[in-house]
C-alpha cells in the first residue's frame, strides 16, 4: 500500500466514525423526545385519578375504622355482627348515599365488570358459603380488599393469598360506571 492509499483509508475510517457518531446523537435525541415528549398529558391524567383514588381510599379506611371490631354474623347488618354483603351495602349507603341490594348475588349484577380493580370496586368470590355461595369485598389497593371474613370479622385480605386467588370470580365497578 502506498502513502496515498493509507491516507484515503484513514479518511474513510474517519468519515465512517463521524457518521456513526451523528447517527448515535440523532438516535438519542429522538429517543428523548419519544420518552418525554408525551408525558405531560399522562401526568395530568394521573394527578386527577390520584386525587379521586385518594378520596376513595380515605373513605374505605374510615369505614374500616368504624367496623374493624365487628364479628362476622350471617344475616347481620350492624356493628354487633355483619356479613360481607351488609358491610358493602353499609359502605355505599354511609359514604355515598347509594343504596345497594342486600345480597352478594344481587350486588354482583350491579355496575360493569372490569379487569383491573381500583379502589371502591366490588370484588366477588365463589366460596360456596352462604345462600348464593358468593362472597364480596371492597377493593382497597395493591391487591388488598376490605370484607367481613367468617373467621376474622371485618378485615383486610389480599387477592394474591392462595385461598382468595383460588375462589376469585370477578370485579365490578359500581361508582362511575
Question: Number of structural domains, the chain?
Answer: 1
Q: pLDDT digits over 136-149, tens only?
A: 999 999 999 999 99
- Number of neighbours of residue 140 by Cβ within 10 angstroms: 24
Close Cβ partners of 141 (under 8 Å, ≥ 6 residues apart):
53, 57, 119
- Catalytic hit among 16, 22, 135, 167: 135
Please confirm, yes or no, whether 147 is among the known catalytic residues.
Answer: yes
**pLDDT score for 37:** 44
Element (H, E) at 148: strand 144-149
pLDDT in tens, 69-89: 999 999 999 999 999 999 999
Task: Please give the pLDDT value at position 78.
Answer: 98
Q: Catalytic one among 22, 63, 147, 167?
A: 147
pLDDT over 90 (residue 1): no
Q: Is the pLDDT of residue 132 over 90?
A: no
Pairing of strands 81-82, 153-158: unpaired
Structure confidence at residue 25 (pLDDT): 61
Q: Determine whether 16 is an active site residue.
A: no
Is 89 part of a structural domain of the chain?
Answer: yes
Amino acid 51: pLDDT: 82
167 is catalytic: no
In a domain, residue 91? The reply is yes
Q: Alpha carbon 23 to chain centroid distance?
A: 41
> What's the domain range around 168?
54-173
Helix (H) or strand (E) holding 77: strand 77-78
Q: What's the whole-number mean pLDDT along residues 22-36?
A: 51
- Is the Cβ–Cβ distance between 51 and 62 less than 8 Å? no
Which residues does residue 148 pair with via DSSP β-bridges, in sequence order?
154
Among 18-22, 28-32, 68-72, name the one with the lowest average pLDDT: 28-32
pTM for this one?
A: 0.71
Catalytic residue among 16, 63, 84, 167: 84
- Non-local (6+) Cβ contacts of 167 within 8 A are 125, 126, 127, 135
| Domain harbouring 169, CATH code | 3.90.1720.10
27 domain-assigned? no
Amino acid at each position: 500500500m502506498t502513502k496515498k492509499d493509507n491516507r484515503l483509508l484513514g479518511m474513510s475510517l474517519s468519515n465512517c466514525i463521524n457518521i456513526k457518531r451523528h447517527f448515535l446523537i440523532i438516535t438519542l435525541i429522538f429517543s428523548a423526545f419519544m420518552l418525554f415528549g408525551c408525558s405531560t398529558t399522562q401526568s395530568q391524567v394521573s394527578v386527577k385519578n390520584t386525587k379521586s383514588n385518594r378520596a376513595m381510599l380515605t373513605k374505605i379506611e374510615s369505614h374500616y375504622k368504624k367496623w374493624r371490631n365487628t364479628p362476622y354474623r350471617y344475616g347481620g347488618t350492624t356493628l354487633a355482627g355483619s356479613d360481607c354483603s351488609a358491610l358493602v351495602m353499609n359502605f355505599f349507603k354511609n359514604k355515598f348515599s347509594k343504596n345497594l341490594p342486600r345480597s352478594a348475588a344481587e350486588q354482583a349484577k350491579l355496575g360493569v365488570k372490569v379487569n383491573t380493580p381500583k379502589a371502591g370496586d366490588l370484588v366477588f368470590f365463589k366460596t360456596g358459603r352462604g345462600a348464593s355461595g358468593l362472597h364480596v369485598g371492597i377493593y382497597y389497593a395493591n391487591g388488598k380488599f376490605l370484607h367481613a371474613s367468617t373467621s376474622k370479622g371485618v378485615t383486610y385480605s389480599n387477592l394474591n393469598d392462595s385461598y382468595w386467588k383460588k375462589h376469585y370470580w370477578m370485579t365490578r365497578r359500581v361508582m362511575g360506571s
